């Protein structure tokens, strides 16, 4: 048995425990000891600024229009996207939106587009954690945490305006009137959870959307229903605009003189349990930032800046992975 | 180690390993009765071994989940005090250090429980002497880590624990101010920073 | 049913796409009736769980045919919830859930439906009989199975299966048993034997007459229907198919799924659908179909054995690595 | 015939065998919830028809009656009360036939452990409330004089654990009506070597002796029947305490017995005994089914009649595949009727002797 | 969740001594059942059919232990739906156990699987011309759950009700909207004599080498394996495993259970068919 990094006060208690017991006994001290060693190493062996290496597979599900499996370390999420048809015919009483596709300039209708997706609820995002992915989540109604993550994912999806409503419209081929919409059911199922579910779930959603191919559909005037062409060759990819990737961080304060604040990239379950302070940055293409969340403590602005830097680095890794798996045709 | 009993390198549940008359069923095995003989059969996937006492066991090599331990009567456990009243202390057992003749109890270091088990230490089980003069508040505080031994599986919710031995009692404690305490004698602990002395049922440091 | 804790679709309701012509998945590669499909099974893919396994069937999969994919994780023995009464045995519960995107046709909801409850109950019966529950007093062993993808044939609305018995649910259950059993072995929970699931079906060969017609006709002319059917079956038009897939396009007269402990030669679960005759001789249908399902499960058992062993060997290697690491001075920490 | 399916018939009851016997002052009536009820202290000289009282029905306005259970007063008048019998007392009560058991002090009950707590057991005795059995109310192994220690508390499950059956006496009642039991006698305690059955609580007469020993037929030895007042019945092989040949003291005997009192292992029971145990159980069930209340005398008689019926080869009409000891349906009725007849004969004979 | 929970409202187990007594008695040759029945003997049942005048068919059964079941069958005319759902939905089964919130998945599934077994021919009789069909609702109410498992009681009652279900005779042409003969005497049976009858499900428990029909609650607890065998005419139309016992069971036992069920079922059918003929 060897001792860990030098404890600062003289050891008042010579009792020693195996690391696993120590971790359970005093999780905070356990993490602090690890981070105070040189070089600072996390219990998982990662450096504070190291993210877990992601892996990605797409289109492995038979009945989804698009799907992806993302694994970062021991966190794994499967996401399936499924299109169903929302008919605007009788019953919606005067709410028929008439939009001519020809005059659909991006600048002009940019605002309206997002609203169409949002107002009609054309994107339905859900995160399921009751799958035995971790010991704390049981089947049944989603926990508060699952609901909160779902809401964040949904918000990210809408606010980044990744999906153009144009690609969800189903038209009457004669009048070019919008008669129906595709509704995208995006279900992210967590099959293994070891912290930072948001990054993995978000990446799986984005990859699933980018792999989604919907059947070509049109409004059939005679039968007054939406009909699709069965040929796979006539399926069309969803128009997903750009890329956005989240990067999550946990912050721990080791105290003045003992290392100060340490920002842990891509925290695992144990680190999330110990650290109260969190930062999330959603990075966009061209070194832009789309969304920043910060909570659970008071931090220097520099901290957030550091997080943004790391997030843009992380963006490149995801971007490369997506290019490899999905092809560069963004 | 024994004598030419041909064992497979890896045993799987249901796999027959040896006959019972010469050999005995050890941890990780069970016996099945045939009309003609009793067969020792593996009940977990792992490495089968024959021990000097002719018992056959199957042990798990997996480092991530080495042992599946449950608190048993006579096993030594580590527990954190969660509630305290004059009659008993409620604790959560978070590590089992073996000691009982547990079926998986091969490991020396014991195991950390994935889930904590709830237990109680009744006032009369705190120490072996002067049982009627025990005051719970002078023995434990909420948050203390206690080494204790399981004396009964108890009822549906609690295991019954005892600290009535020199080696058992509080092993980790913090003062009211949050500083760590270290043991002075079997009933007192002191704070290194302030020197404040608090009362505990202290485990004799090993 | 609206679920206020989840994000729901538009209130107006949506329908799955309707196609001009119905396209059915028909498998191109025809197996011989006694060939099992290849299975991919790997344990330990959900590290937070005590034990876990992932199963994919068939492997390798092609994009044109649907596959069956499920994950299973096992937790326990862990304390029972405080509301339950004392039990000197472990309580094993199994939960099988279809993911929303796993089935053809409509998207599946999150709230547990009757099919899921039924399969969960059968799964816990099949596994519970194999686990040495007496070794774990006062504890719960929880088994979770998530079906990520399945082949259809579930008997759902809009999911036609050609007039015969649907074997979709049966193969989901059988693979769930195998996958969960591998996860239990991975967890190191003591059990009498590992359970493997197997399915077999009696199939009307291509070109045969759909059964109900034949029965009706024979009745109309006043014949004994059973004789007619038996005659038809004895004429060799009925074949036993191991591991039938819903996409094989068979007309299945009867099918059985079993949970089977090969080392003990014992069954933990029997589930049959479709009508089977019993005419007393040794070649009758019940016997054939049960034996067929057992044969199928024996094949699956070999895969489970390999998957469990593979992981154990990996564990042995890791152990070696960790020992080396401990010597180099990392890992332990002293308590303060 | 594996199954007999009968058309529905109006409820049938066997009337008490003899208008002059003691048993006669019990009648079948209907109670508050529309269940059939049995009346005690019913009028002896009233009509022979089964008086059925329904809730709200005025039974009597005679002020000499005191209101008992199952009755209430309406504006100074008794209602739902019936009867004029004065040779017992002036208390009038209506007892539901199908009801939960209401414990009374001194009752012998058979119970099943429902829950084990740190110092007591909760026992299901077919009552609305669980009965309590305190750790201090049982005999501990090692003799009566043994001191109770805290170790006993830790091993409480080694005495009784969930599901275990026991026979006990109601020692006292709590404020809320829950019973407190004790087993501090060698005739009480854990039950083994037999079979448990459950009849409705009113089916067993509160009588002198609730532990009945029957001399079973076919060389089966003696069979003990414990008729719990609560409707729980235990039928078992009679186990006699063998006095050791040295003629040792009775305390020694008690000690030895007490070592085994919490055993869960049955002794060897011969198939023939098992068969008679089943037959006795069927007799009890048939008697309750045909509304004959069970006590030692009637049980004995019905048992003998059941044996006779088997000898005569009477089983279900036309059927031969029934078990010969089975008393379902019509056979049971015949056996019970014959048994009642037997009791009647014995009674009149006894009366004859007195006269 | 567990199928047996419907019958074992109290979760209290049997005592070890009791269980061992039962187990030994039941493994003897010949076995001794607690109520002295022979292995294939059922407890007597009281049954009547046609009890609900506003249904197309109904039945009621009472078990000696207090279990009571009522089944009503009602038929409605329904237009064939455009989004082809298939005839599987034409019979809707609803099992309600009084005092239980959820509908019973196990019982519902058992009934549905055996009733809708391919080849039974019943769905074909529901066709009403080209555009319409009968939609049949089978409502099974377990008024008082029996002390043992309700599957047998429930399916026997359902059998009786279906056997006595009549549908008005169609007098319109195939292409027209359906018009019916209003004379009930001309109504057609849903299950005509001579065609494949409705199924029943028998509960069978094995203890050692012995097999028992119509097991009581305690026999279920002492059993090694409990199977529900559904039989339709002379065919086995479904087997399901119920909770109970630890460890598996040999395949020979399973086959024997199925075989004996068929033999016993024949007698059960003949008895069931005579219900209502006496009066």
Same CATH fold assignment for domains D52-96 and D100-191? yes
> What residues in D contact C86, CB-CB < 8 Å?
115-116, 157, 161-162
Query: What's the pLDDT tens digit per position in E158-179?
Result: 999 999 999 998 888 877 788 8
Closest-CA residue of chain C to E194: C219
| Mean pLDDT of all residues in B52-69 | 74
Structure-token match 């990780």, residue found: B28
Q: Which three-class secondary structure string do you get for C228-272?
A: HHHHHHHHHHEEEEECCCHHHCCEEEEEEEEEEECCCCEEEEEEE
Is A26 among the domain residues?
A: no
CB burial of residue B206 (10 Å; 0-12, 13-18, 19+): exposed
Q: Please judge whether E22 and D195 are an interchain contact, meaning their C-beta atoms are less than 8 angstroms apart.
A: yes
Give the strand pairing for C238-242 and C251-261.
unpaired
Q: Scanning every residue of chain E, which has its alpha carbon at the shortest distance from the alpha carbon of D329?
A: E44
Chains with ≥3 Cβ pairs under 8 A against C?
A: A, B, D, E
Mutate to test the interface with A, among C16, C17, C21 (most CBs of A within 10 A): C17
Picking from C53, C140, C26, C126, the residue whose alpha carbon sits closest to that of residue C89 is C140
Q: In this structure, what token pair is assigned to residue D247?
A: 């003629």
Please spell the DSSP secondary structure of D65-98, one letter per residue: PEE-TT-EEETTEEES------SS-SEE-EEESS
Pick the CATH number of D52-96 from 3.40.50.300, 1.10.260.40, 3.50.50.60, 2.40.50.100: 2.40.50.100
Q: What is the 3-state secondary structure (H, E, C) of chain A?
A: CCCCCCCCCCCCCCCEECHHHHHHHCHHHHHHHHHHCCCCCCCCCCCCCCCCCEEEEECCCCCCCEEEEEEECCEEEEEEEEEEEEECCCCCCCCCCCCCCCCCCHHHHHHHHHHHHHHCCCEEEEEECCCCCCCCCCCCCCCHHHHHHHHHHHHHHHHCCCECHHHHEEECCCCCCEEEEEEEEEEEEEEECCCCHHHHHHHHHHHHHHCCEECCEEEECCCCEEEECCCHHHCEECCECCCEEEEEEEEEECCCCCCCEEEEECCCHHHHHHCCEEEEEEEECCCEEEEEEEECCCCCHHHHHHHHHHHHHHHHHHHHHHHHHHCCCC
Domain annotation for chain C: domains and CATH numbers: 40-305 (3.30.230.70)
> B touches which chains (3+ CB pairs under 8 A)?
A, C, D
- Return the half-sphere exposure (C-beta side, CA atoms, 13 A cut-off) of residue C221: 8
Crossing angle for the helix pair C114-128 and E105-115, to the nearest 10 degrees: 100
Domain at E201, CATH number: 3.30.230.70
User: How many contacts, defined by CB atoms under 8 Å, are there between B and D?
Assistant: 11
- For residue A11, tell me if it sits in a domain: no
Residue A244 confidence (pLDDT) above 90 = yes
Does some domain include residue A22? no
Query: For chain B, which domains are there?
Result: 16-59 (2.40.50), 66-206 (2.40.50.140)
According to the model, what pLDDT value does residue C326 have? 33
Residue A93: per-residue pLDDT: 39
Interchain contact, D161 vs C88, CB within 8 Å? yes
How far does C123 lie from chain D, in Å, by closest CA? 27
Interface test with C, best of B33, B34, B62, B91 (most C CBs within 10 A): B62
Q: Which domain holds residue A179?
A: 39-326
Residue E2 domain-assigned (yes or no) = no
Q: How far is CA E49 from CA D335, E151, E195, E267, E276, in A?
A: 31, 19, 20, 19, 7
CA-wise closest residue to A100 among A9, A27, A172: A172
Does the pLDDT of residue D60 top 80, yes or no? no
- Mutation target for A interface from C3, C4, C7: give the one with most A CBs within 10 A: C7
Supply D65's token pair: 């009656």
Angle at alpha carbon of residue B100, lines to B99 and B103, rounded to 5°: 120
Q: Which residues are A244's β-sheet partners?
A: A284
Q: CB-based contacts of B125: which residues, under 8 Å, 6+ apart?
A: B151, B160, B161, B162, B163, B164
Residue C57 banded pLDDT, cuts 50, 70, 90: confident
The per-residue pLDDT for range E183-236, each reduced to its tens digit, is: 888 889 999 888 888 999 999 999 988 999 999 888 888 888 899 999 988 888
- Nearest CA-CA partner of E110 in E32, E3, E250: E3
Contact A61 C69 (CB under 8 A): yes
D241 Cβ under 8 Å from any chain B Cβ = no
Of A15, A18, A135, nearest to B206 by CB-CB distance is A15
**Model pTM?**
0.87
* E5 domain-assigned: no
Q: Bridge partners of E250? A: none
Upstream peptide bond of D354 is cis (omega within 30 degrees of 0): no
Kindly provide the ipTM of the predicted complex, given to two decimals: 0.86
Between D85 and E239, the more confident residue is E239
C276–E1 C-beta distance less than 8 A: no
CB-CB neighbors (< 8 A) of C128 in chain E: 243, 246
Specify the pLDDT at position C53. Answer: 96
Answer whether C312 sits within 8 Å of B156, measured CB to CB.
Answer: no
D329 touches chain E (CB under 8 A): yes
CATH of the domain at A315: 3.30.230.70
The answer on pLDDT for D253 being more than 90 is no
D100-191: CATH architecture: Beta Barrel (2.40)
What is the pLDDT averaged over residues C79-83? 83
The mean pLDDT value for D63-91 works out to 52
SS3 state of residue D121? strand
| A102-147 per-position pLDDT tens digit | 444 443 444 444 477 888 889 999 999 988 898 888 888 889 999 9
Neighbours of chain D (3+ CB pairs under 8 A): B, C, E
Determine the Cα–Cα distance for residues D211 and D226; give it in Å rounded to an integer. 5
Say whether C73 sits in a helix, a strand or coil: strand
How do the domains of chain D map onto residue ranges?
Answer: 52-96, 100-191, 195-354
- Check residue C324 and give left, alpha or beta (phi > 0: left; psi -120 to 50: alpha): alpha
**Chain A residues in contact with B95 (beta carbon < 8 A):** 21, 24-25
Contact between chains at E259 and C275 (C-beta distance less than 8 A) = no
Query: Is residue D85 pLDDT above 80, yes or no?
Result: no
Instruction: Quickly state the pLDDT bin for C156 (edges 50, 70, 90).
Output: low
More confident residue, D292 or D213: D213
The answer as to whether A45 is a domain residue is yes
Q: Does position A5 have pLDDT exceeding 50, yes or no?
A: no
User: Would you call the peptide bond into D238 cis, given omega within 30 degrees of 0 as the criterion?
Assistant: no
The nearest CA of chain A is from the CA of B22 a distance in Å of: 38
Number of structural domains found in chain E: 1
- Is residue E53 situated within a structural domain? yes
Q: Are D173 and D180 in contact (CB under 8 A)?
A: yes
Q: Give yes or no for D154 touching B (CB within 8 A).
A: yes
* Contacts C315 to B, Cβ<8 Å: 60-64
C88 vs D contacts (CB less than 8 Å): 161
Q: How many domains does chain A have?
A: 1
Q: What Rg do the C-alpha atoms of chain A give, in angstroms?
A: 24
DSSP strand pairing (E45-49 vs D5-6):
parallel
Task: Determine whether the interchain pair C335/B13 forms a contact, defined as Cβ–Cβ distance below 8 Å.
Answer: no
Q: Could you tell me if residue A33 is inside a domain? A: no
CA separation, residue A104 to residues A109, A165, E146 (Å): 6, 11, 69
- For residue B106, give both structure tokens: 């091969």
- For chain A, give the mean pLDDT: 84
* Bridge partners, residue D180, by sequence: D132, D172
- State the pLDDT confidence band at E267, using cuts at 50, 70 and 90: confident
């Amino acid at each position: 048995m060897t001792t860990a990094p030098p404890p600062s006060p003289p050891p008042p208690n010579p009792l020693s425990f195996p690391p696993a017991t120590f971790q359970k006994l005093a999780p905070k001290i356990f993490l602090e000891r690890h981070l105070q060693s040189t070089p600072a190493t996390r219990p998982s062996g990662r450096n504070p600024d190291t993210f877990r290496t992601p892996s990605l597979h797409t289109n492995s599900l038979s009945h989804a229009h698009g799907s992806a499996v993302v694994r970062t370390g021991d966190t794994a999420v499967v996401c399936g996207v499924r299109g169903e048809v929302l008919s605007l015919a009788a019953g919606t009483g005067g709410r028929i939106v008439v939009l001519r596709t020809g005059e659909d300039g991006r600048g002009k209708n940019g605002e309206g587009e997002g609203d169409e997706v949002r107002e009609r609820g054309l994107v339905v995002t859900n995160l399921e954690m009751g799958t035995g992915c971790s010991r704390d989540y049981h089947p049944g109604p989603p926990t508060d945490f699952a609901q909160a993550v779902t809401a964040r994912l949904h918000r990210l999806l809408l606010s980044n305006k990744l999906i153009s409503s144009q690609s969800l419209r189903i038209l009457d081929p004669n009048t070019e009137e919008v008669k129906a919409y595709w509704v995208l059911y995006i279900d992210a199922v967590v099959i293994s959870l070891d912290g930072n579910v948001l990054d993995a779930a978000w990446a799986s959603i984005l990859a699933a959307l980018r792999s989604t191919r919907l059947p070509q559909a049109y409004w059939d005037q005679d039968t007054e229903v939406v009909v699709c062409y069965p040929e796979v060759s006539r399926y069309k990819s969803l128009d997903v605009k750009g890329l956005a990737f989240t990067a999550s961080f946990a912050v721990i304060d080791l105290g003045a003189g003992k290392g100060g604040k340490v920002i842990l990239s891509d925290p695992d379950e144990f680190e999330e349990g110990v650290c109260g302070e969190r930062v999330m940055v959603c990075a966009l293409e061209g070194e832009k930032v789309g969304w920043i969340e910060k909570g659970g403590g008071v931090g220097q602005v520099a901290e957030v800046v550091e997080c943004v830097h790391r997030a843009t680095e992380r963006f490149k890794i995801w971007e490369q992975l997506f290019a490899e798996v999905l092809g560069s045709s963004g | 180690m024994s004598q030419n009993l041909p064992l497979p390198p890896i045993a799987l549940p249901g796999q027959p390993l040896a006959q019972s008359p010469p050999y005995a069923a050890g941890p990780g095995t069970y016996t099945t009765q045939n009309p003609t003989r009793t067969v020792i059969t593996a009940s977990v996937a792992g490495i089968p071994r024959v021990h000097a006492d002719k018992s056959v066991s199957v042990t798990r090599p997996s480092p991530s989940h080495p042992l599946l331990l449950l608190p048993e009567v006579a096993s030594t456990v580590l527990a954190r005090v969660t509630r305290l009243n004059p009659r008993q202390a409620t604790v959560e057992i978070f590590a089992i250090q073996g000691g009982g003749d547990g079926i998986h109890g091969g490991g020396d270091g014991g195991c950390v429980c994935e889930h904590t088990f709830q237990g109680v230490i009744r006032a009369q089980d705190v120490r072996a002497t002067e049982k009627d003069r025990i005051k719970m508040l002078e023995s434990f505080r909420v948050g203390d880590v206690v080494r204790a031994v399981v004396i009964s599986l108890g009822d549906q919710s609690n295991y019954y624990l005892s600290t009535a031995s020199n080696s058992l009692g509080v092993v980790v404690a913090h003062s009211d101010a949050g500083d760590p305490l270290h043991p002075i004698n079997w009933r007192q602990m002191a704070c290194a920073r302030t020197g404040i002395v608090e009362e505990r049922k202290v485990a004799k440091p090993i | 049913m609206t679920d206020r804790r989840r994000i729901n679709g538009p209130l107006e309701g949506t329908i799955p796409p309707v196609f001009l012509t119905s396209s059915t998945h028909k498998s191109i590669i025809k197996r011989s009736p006694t060939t099992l499909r290849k299975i991919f099974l790997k344990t330990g893919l959900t590290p937070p769980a005590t034990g876990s396994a992932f199963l994919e069937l068939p492997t390798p999969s092609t994009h044109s045919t649907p596959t069956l994919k499920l994950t299973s994780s096992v937790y326990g023995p862990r304390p029972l919830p405080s509301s339950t009464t004392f039990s000197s045995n472990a309580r094993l519960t199994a939960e099988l859930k279809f993911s929303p995107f796993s089935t053809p046709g409509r998207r599946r909801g999150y709230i547990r439906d009757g099919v899921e409850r039924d399969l969960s109950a059968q799964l816990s019966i099949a596994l519970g009989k194999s686990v040495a529950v007496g070794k774990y007093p006062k504890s719960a062993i929880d088994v979770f199975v998530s079906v990520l993808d399945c082949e259809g044939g579930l008997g759902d609305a809009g999911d036609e299966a050609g007039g015969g018995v649907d074997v979709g649910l049966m193969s989901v259950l059988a693979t769930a048993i195998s996958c969960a059993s591998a996860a239990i072995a991975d967890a190191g929970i003591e059990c009498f034997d590992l359970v493997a699931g197997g399915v077999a079906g009696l199939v009307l060969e291509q070109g045969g007459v759909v059964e109900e017609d034949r029965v009706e006709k024979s009745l109309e002319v006043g014949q004994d229907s059973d004789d007619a059917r038996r005659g038809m079956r004895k004429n060799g038009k009925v074949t036993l198919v191991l591991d039938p897939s819903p996409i094989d396009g068979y007309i299945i007269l009867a099918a059985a799924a079993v949970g089977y402990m090969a080392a003990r030669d014992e069954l933990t679960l029997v589930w049959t659908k479709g009508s089977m005759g019993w005419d007393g001789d040794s070649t009758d249908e019940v016997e054939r179909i049960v034996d067929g399902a057992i044969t199928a499960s024996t094949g699956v058992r070999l895969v489970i054995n390999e998957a469990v062993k593979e992981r154990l060997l990996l564990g042995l290697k890791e152990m070696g690595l960790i020992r080396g690491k401990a010597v180099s001075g990392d890992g332990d920490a002293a308590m303060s | 015939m594996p199954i007999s399916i009968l058309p529905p018939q109006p409820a049938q009851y066997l009337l008490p065998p003899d208008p002059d016997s003691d048993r006669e002052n019990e009648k079948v009536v209907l109670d508050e919830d529309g269940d059939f009820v049995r009346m005690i202290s019913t009028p002896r000289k009233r009509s022979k028809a089964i008086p059925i009282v329904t809730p709200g029905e005025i039974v009597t306005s005679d002020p000499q009656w005191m209101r008992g259970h199952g009755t209430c007063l309406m504006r100074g008048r008794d209602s739902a009360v019936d009867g004029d019998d004065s040779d017992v007392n002036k208390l009038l009560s209506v007892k539901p036939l199908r009801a939960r058991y209401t414990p009374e002090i001194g009752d012998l009950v058979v119970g099943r452990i429902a829950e084990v707590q740190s110092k007591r057991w909760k026992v299901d005795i077919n009552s609305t409330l669980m009965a309590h059995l305190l750790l201090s109310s049982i005999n501990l192994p090692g003799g009566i004089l043994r001191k109770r220690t805290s170790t006993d508390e830790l091993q409480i499950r080694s005495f009784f654990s969930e599901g275990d059956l026991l026979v006990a006496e109601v020692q006292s009642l709590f404020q809320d009506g829950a019973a407190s039991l004790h087993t501090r006698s060698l005739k009480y305690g854990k039950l083994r070597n037999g079979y448990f059955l459950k009849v409705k609580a009113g089916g067993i007469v509160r009588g002198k002796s609730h532990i009945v020993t029957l001399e079973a037929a076919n060389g089966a030895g003696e069979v003990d029947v414990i008729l719990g007042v609560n409707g729980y019945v235990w039928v078992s092989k009679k186990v006699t305490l063998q006095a050791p040949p040295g003629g040792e003291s009775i305390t020694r005997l008690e000690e030895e017995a007490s070592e085994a009192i919490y055993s869960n292992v049955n002794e060897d029971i011969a198939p023939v005994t098992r068969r008679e145990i089943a037959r006795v159980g069927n007799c009890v069930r048939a008697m309750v089914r045909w509304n004959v209340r069970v006590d030692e005398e009637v049980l004995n008689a019905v048992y003998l009649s059941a044996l006779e019926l088997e000898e005569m080869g009477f089983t279900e009409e036309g059927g031969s595949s029934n078990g010969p000891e089975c008393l379902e349906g019509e056979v049971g009725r015949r056996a019970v009727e014959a048994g009642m007849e037997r009791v009647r004969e014995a009674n009149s004979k006894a009366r004859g002797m007195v006269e | 969740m567990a199928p047996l929970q419907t019958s074992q409202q109290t979760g209290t187990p049997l005592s070890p001594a009791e269980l061992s007594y039962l187990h030994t008695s039941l493994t003897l040759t010949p076995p001794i059942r607690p109520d002295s029945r022979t292995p294939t003997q059922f407890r007597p049942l009281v049954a009547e059919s046609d009890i609900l005048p506003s249904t197309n068919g109904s039945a009621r059964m009472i078990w000696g232990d207090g279990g009571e079941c009522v089944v009503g069958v009602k038929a409605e005319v329904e237009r064939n739906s455009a989004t082809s759902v298939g005839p599987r939905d034409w019979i809707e089964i609803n099992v309600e156990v009084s005092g239980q919130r959820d509908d019973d998945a196990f019982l519902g599934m058992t009934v549905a699987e055996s009733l809708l077994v391919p080849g039974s021919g019943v769905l074909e009789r529901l066709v009403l011309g080209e555009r319409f069909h009968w939609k049949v609702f089978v409502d099974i109410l377990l008024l008082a759950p029996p002390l043992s498992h309700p599957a047998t009681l429930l399916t026997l009652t359902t059998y009786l009700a279906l056997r006595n279900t009549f549908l008005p005779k169609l007098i319109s042409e195939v292409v027209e909207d359906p018009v019916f003969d209003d004379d009930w005497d001309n109504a057609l049976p849903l299950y005509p004599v001579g065609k494949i009858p409705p199924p029943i499900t028998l509960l069978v428990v094995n203890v050692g080498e012995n097999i028992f029909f119509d097991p009581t609650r305690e026999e279920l607890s002492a059993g090694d394996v409990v199977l529900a065998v559904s039989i339709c005419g002379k065919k086995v139309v479904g087997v399901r495993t119920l909770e109970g016992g630890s460890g598996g069971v040999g395949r020979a036992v399973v086959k024997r259970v199925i075989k004996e069920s068929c033999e016993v079922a024949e007698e059960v059918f003949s008895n069931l068919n005579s219900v209502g003929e006496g009066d």
